[in-house]
Amino acid sequence: MKLSLSTRVAEMPKQKTKTLLGLKELTALAKESGYDAICMRASQIGIQHSAAEQTAASEVVETAGLPVSMVTGDIDTPANNDSAQMALRNITPFLDLTERLGSDLIRIGMKADSDIHWAQKAADEAAERGIRLAHQSHTCTLFETIEKSVAVLKEVNRDNFGIIYEPANLLVCGQEYGATPLKAFEPWLMNVYLQNMWPHEDGTQTIATWFNGPVPFDLVPFGDPRGLDFELIMNALSEMNYAGYVTVHHNVADGMDIQTGVSQFADHLRAVGDFE
């Protein structure tokens, strides 16, 4: 497995557009902390930026010696708002951005069964350029539950369309989050996202879900026993011989010093997982 750092770690809490660290600072921090790649979000560079700005961002990560593991090219997809699925209607600028960043994987959003047709069309266009599309396990989407996720993956039925396994979102939706979903998702598994959420009735934040209603939770550091069991997750990935990226997707800025969190989370995952 290879360790990737999402640029989400430096976004301002509860804001997808503002960052506390620039791309040069963040890539330098990732390199110092032993990450193998950067997972790019539109808060740093996206389709809203010019081709020249996109190329300049590519040069920053290339200079740091870090490939881009995946691209989330707009704000709507991670915000999971009413426009989260619109990238599928016009995937071309996302493909252009991804090519400029030297990546081959794009995160997309799907909110209704009517999006399946558009996912097929977008995947077909992406395949012509050797690019894959994937949807994260995420609340209030077609990928909230294990059963529905597998059904949608089968219906889209494209070799270059898959899933980003994210156990915290499965947890808050009342799903199993360890070996069970990984075995179910294995034919389509394209990335792994990790954040640590502790659902409890006195949580200071609340996340909406279709399956489980509003769920109060707190973000806690990796290794906190109140949250997810990352050793269980790493063992399940190792047993299935997963060799792709495992991405720290936690909003470190929400309650932690960014530099400390980025380093500590990498240390914890390397301690419990089989990384290159």
- pLDDT at position 201, please? 95
Once rounded to an integer, what is the mean pLDDT over residues 24-47? 97
pLDDT in tens, 184-231: 999 999 999 999 999 999 999 999 999 999 999 999 999 999 999 999
- pLDDT at position 255, please? 78
- What length is written for the chain? 276
- pLDDT at position 14, please? 76
Where does the pLDDT of residue 248 fall: very low under 50, low under 70, confident under 90, or very high at 90 and above?
Answer: very high
Contact (CB, 8 A) for 135 and 84: no
Where does the pLDDT of residue 254 fall: very low under 50, low under 70, confident under 90, or very high at 90 and above?
Answer: confident
Average pLDDT over the chain, rounded to whole? Answer: 96
Where does the pLDDT of residue 252 fall: very low under 50, low under 70, confident under 90, or very high at 90 and above?
Answer: confident
pLDDT in tens, 79-137: 999 999 999 999 999 999 999 999 999 999 999 999 999 999 999 999 999 999 999 99
- pLDDT at position 93, please? 98
Once rounded to an integer, what is the mean pLDDT over residues 57-75? 97
Under CATH, which number does the domain 2-272 receive?
3.20.20.150
The domain spans of the chain are 2-272
The reported pTM is 0.96
- pLDDT at position 16, please? 77
- CA dist., res. 205 & res. 212, Å (int): 15
Other C-beta atoms closer than 10 Å to the C-beta of 206 total 11
